[in-house]
Amino acid sequence: MSSVTERFLRYVSFDTQSDDASPSCPSTGKQKLLGQAIVEEMKAMGIADAYMDENGYVYGTVPGDPELPTIGLIAHMDTAPDAPGNDIKPSIVEYNGGDIVLNEEKGIRMTQADFPNLKNHVGKHLIITDGTTLLGADDKAGIAEIMTAAEYLIQNGGRHATIRLGFTPDEEIGRGADLFNVKDFGADYAYTSDGGPIGELEYENFNAAGVKVTVHGRIIHPGSAKNKMVNSQIIAIEFHNMLPAAQRPEHTEGYEGFIYLNHMEGSVTETVLKYAIRDHDMAKFNEKKAVMEAAAAFINAKYGEGTLEIAIVDSYYNMREKIEPNMFIIDRAKAAMEAVGIVPMEVPIRGGTDGARLSYEGLPCPNLCTGGENFHGYYEFIPVEDMEKCVEMLVKILTNF
C-alpha cells in the first residue's frame, strides 16, 4: 500500500465533521484531534516548527532554496455535515467496470447508470465507503497528498521551494479562512488541494451568500381559525414558490448560478428557511439577492410588515479577479500536471474553497485536483492511482524551476 493511501485511510478514521450551528472555532472540538495527530506526524517527519494554534489551524514549514519562492499548500481537516462522518468503513476495490456493491447486507450499490464517471476508472483501485457514511476524501485526500509530497522532498532533498503547510478547520461551513494567519504564513502564493477528478485546475469560483428567511405566523385552534390563523408554513411555501424554479441547483451546471433551499423547519407560529445563493458573475449574483428581497417585500405587503424577515450575508467572492494578475501560478500548475502525465482541465468551481477568501486577503490561491469524486455523500470514492499522481504533481510544482 502506498504511503499516500496509508495516510488517507488513517485520516478518515477521525470524525471531523464541522457544525454550522456552533459559534466556536473550530466548530467541533474533534477536529483538533486530527490536527494534533498531523502535528505529531509533521514533527516526526522533521518539520520542526509544526504546531496547531488555539483555533485548530495547523502550520509548518519545509525549508527550501531561499532563492526560490515560498509556496503554500493548504487543505481542510473538516468534513461536510451532509452525511454521517463517523465510524467510516473504507475498502479498496479493483474496478473492472459495471456496478460496485458498497454494502451487500443493506443492498447498497453504486451503479454506472447513476454515476457514469465510473467508466473513467476501469483498471484502477477505488477507495469506497460502505454506503452508510461519507468517505472524507474532501478533503483528507488533500492533506494526505500534501503530507506525502512534503515527506518525499524531506527524504530525497534536491532543489525545491520553501513549503508552507496549512491545514484549516471549518471549511465546509464557510469559515476555513476566517482565522487563517496570512501574514505569518508568509507564502508568496499558494494552492489549495481541495478539488475533484484528476486534472481539474480551478481559479474561478462562485460568489456566495447565505440567506435566512424567518416567517412569523399566528396559531389559533383550527376549529375557530377562519380569518384568524396565519400559518407561517403556508406563507413560507408561497415565498419559496415565487423564486425562479429554473435557478434551483438541480437545473443548473457550468457557469449557471442558483438559489438553493438547503434547510427548512417550522410550525404554524414560525418557519425558518435557509438558502445558499451562488453565481460566478457578480451582476447575476446581485440580481439573485434582489429577487429574494423583492419576494420578501411582496409577502410583507400582502400579509403585513414584519411577517417575513430576510437576512442575506455574503460569504466569499470569485477569486478570478485576484488570480488573473498572477496567471503564472496557473501556468506552473499546468506545467506540473503535464510533466507527470495529467491532462489539465480548467473548470469553474461550483462551490468555494478557502483559497477564494485567501486570494482576497492577499494570498493568490487557486485550487488543485485531489482525485476524489461524488463528495459529501454515500457514494464518494477516490482512486489510489489518482492520489499518487496528485502527489507527483505537487512535487513538480515545488521543484520544476
pLDDT of the residue at 55: 97
> Mean pLDDT across the stretch 182-205?
96
Residue 261 has pLDDT above 80, yes or no: yes
What is the average pLDDT across 296-305? 98
Q: What is 207-316's CATH number? A: 3.30.70.360
pLDDT at 101 over 90: yes
The whole model's pTM is what?
0.88
Give the residue among 50, 46, 29, 48 at the shortest CA–CA distance from 38.
50
pLDDT > 80? residue 162: yes
CB atoms inside a 10 Å sphere around CB 265? 11
CATH code, residues 3-205+318-399: 3.40.630.10
Average pLDDT of the chain, as a whole number: 96
What pLDDT is attached to residue 174? 87
**β-bridge pairing 207-216 and 381-383:** unpaired
pLDDT of 1 reads 66
Q: Percent of the chain at pLDDT above 90? A: 96
Distance CA 293, CA 312 (A): 9
pLDDT at 28 > cutoff 80 = yes
Q: Which of 236, 234, 238, 241 is nearest to 213 (CA)?
A: 236
Q: Where are the alpha helices (DSSP H) in 304-368?
A: 320-323, 328-339, 354-360
pLDDT exceeding 70 applies to what percent of the chain? 100
* pLDDT band, very low/low/confident/very high, at 50 (cuts 50, 70, 90): very high
| pLDDT at residue 364 tops 80 | yes
Closest CA to 331 of 206, 201, 205: 201
Angle at which helix 384-399 crosses helix 3-11, to 10 degrees, equals 110
* Segment 372-389 mean pLDDT: 97
**217: CB partners within 8 A, 6+ apart:** 229, 230, 231, 232, 233, 235, 267, 268, 269, 270, 271
Mean pLDDT of the 5-29 span:
97
Residues belonging to the active site: 78, 171
Q: Which of 108, 87, 3, 100 is nearest to 45 (CA)?
A: 3
State residue 315's pLDDT score.
86
Q: Could you tell me which residue, 2 or 121, shows the higher pLDDT?
A: 121
Q: How would residue 2 be classed by pLDDT, with cut points 50, 70 and 90?
A: confident
Angle at 279 between CA 181 and CA 136, to 5 degrees: 55
CA 90 – CA 10 distance, rounded (Å): 10
Give Cα separations from 25 to 55, 171, 177, 266, 394 (angstroms).
Answer: 5, 11, 11, 28, 29
Domain boundaries, the chain: 3-205+318-399, 207-316
pLDDT value at residue 353 = 85
133-149 pLDDT, tens per residue? Answer: 999 999 999 999 999 99
Per-residue pLDDT tens digits for 303-337:
999 999 999 999 889 999 999 999 999 999 999 99
pLDDT band at 203 (very low <50, low <70, confident <90, very high): very high
The residues pairing with 176 across neighbouring beta strands, listed in sequence order, are none
Mean per-residue pLDDT, 327-352 = 95
Burial bucket for residue 116 (CB in 10 Å: 0-12, 13-18, 19+): exposed
